[in-house]
A and B are shown apart, each in its own frame.
Chain A
Amino acid sequence: MGAHKRKAPGVNDGQRVPTAPGEALSRTDLLRRAAVAGAAVASTPAWAPAALAAPRRITASSPKTLVVGTDAVGIDFVPAHSFQGWGHTTALIHMLEGLYTYPDWDIGRKVVPVLARDFPRRDARNKRKFAVDLKKGVRFHDGTPLDAESVVFNYMRYLDKNHPFYDPAAVFTGGNILFGIAKVEALDSDTVVFTTNRPLGDFKAQLVSPLGGGLLSVVGIRQAGVPNAGVAPQGTGPFRLVEARKGDQIVLERFEGYHGPRPGVDRIVLRAIPDPAALTAAILSGDVHLSWQVSLDDVPRFQRDNQLTTSSKTSLSAGYVALNAGGSKGVKTFLDQRLRIAALTALNKQKLIQTVLGGRAKVGAGLVAPALWGYQPQLIDFHKYNPSKARTLLSQVGDVPAVTLSVPSNAHWPRAAESVQADWEAVGIKTTIKVIDSAAFGATMSQGAHDAFMWDATPGQLESWSLYRVLFGCSNPFRFRVGGWCDQEFDRALLAAVATNDRKKAKGLIALLDRKLLEAGAWQANYYPDIVSVWRKNVSGFNPPVLRFASLNRVTVK
Chain B
Amino acid sequence: MRFLKGRLPRPVAHAFSDTVTVVAGSVVALVILLALFAPLLTPYDPAEQDAVRSLENPSWSHPFGTDQFGRDILTRILYGARISLMIGFGAVAVALVAGLVLGILSGYYRSVFDVVIMRSIDVALAFPLIIFATLVVVVLGSSAVTVIFAVGISLVPLFTRLARSVVLSLREQEFFEAAVSVGCSDARMMRHHVLPHVFPLLFVQATTAIGLAILSGAALSFIGIGVQPPTADWGRMVSEFAPLVFVHPYLSLYPGLAIAMTAVACNLLGDGLLRAFDPTASRVVA
Contact = CB atoms under 8 A, between A and B. Distances in A.
Contacts of A418: 69, 229-230
B286 A3 contact: yes
A297 B67 CA distance: 13
A335 to B, nearest CB: 24
A298 interface: yes
What class of interface size applies to chain A in its complex with B? 20 to 34
A301 B49 contact: no
A284 B243 CA distance: 15
Interface of B: 47-49, 51, 54, 68-70, 142, 224-225, 228-230, 240, 242-247, 285-286
Given A355-B51, A356-B68, A421 B246 contact: no
A354 B244 contact: no
Contacts of A409: 224
A411 to B, nearest CB: 9
A101 interface: no
Nearest to A295: B243
A298 B247 contact: yes
Contacts of B246: 277, 280-281, 284, 297-298, 301
Q: Is the interface of A mostly helix, strand, loop or mixed?
A: helix
A280 B246 CA distance: 8
The B contact surface, by secondary structure, is loop
A3 B240 CA distance: 49
Interface string A48-89: 000000000000000000000000000000000000000000
Given A351-B51, A409-B224, 9 more contacts: A1-B285, A3-B286, A276-B243, A297-B247, A301-B247, A354-B54, A356-B68, A415-B68, A435-B142
A414 B224 contact: yes
B286 A355 contact: no
A421 B230 contact: yes
Contacts, number: 63
A4 interface: yes
Interface string A418-436: 1101100100000011010
Contacts of A297: 243-244, 246-247
Interface in A316-354: 348, 350-351, 354
A506 interface: no
A350 B51 CA distance: 9
A558 interface: no
B233 to A, nearest CB: 12
A419 B243 contact: no
Given A350-B51, A421-B230, A300 B245 contact: no
A417 interface: yes
A354 B229 contact: no
Contacts of A412: 243
Given A298-B247, A301-B246, A354-B54, A419 B49 contact: yes
* Interface-central residue, B69, B229, B240, B244, by most chain A CB under 10 Å: B229
Contacts of B48: 422
A355 B244 contact: no
Nearest to A298: B246
B135 to A, nearest CB: 15
Given A3-B286, A300-B247, A415-B240, A422 B230 contact: yes
A458 B225 CA distance: 28
Interface string A471-514: 00000000000000000000000000000000000000000000
A6 interface: yes
A172 B250 CA distance: 45
6 contacts: A3-B285, A298-B246, A354-B51, A414-B224, A421-B229, A432-B228
A281 B245 CA distance: 10
A297 B51 CA distance: 15
Contacts of B68: 355-356, 415
B73 to A, nearest CB: 14
Contacts of B51: 348, 350-351, 354-355
Contacts of B54: 354-355
Nearest to A354: B51
Contacts of B69: 355, 418-419, 422
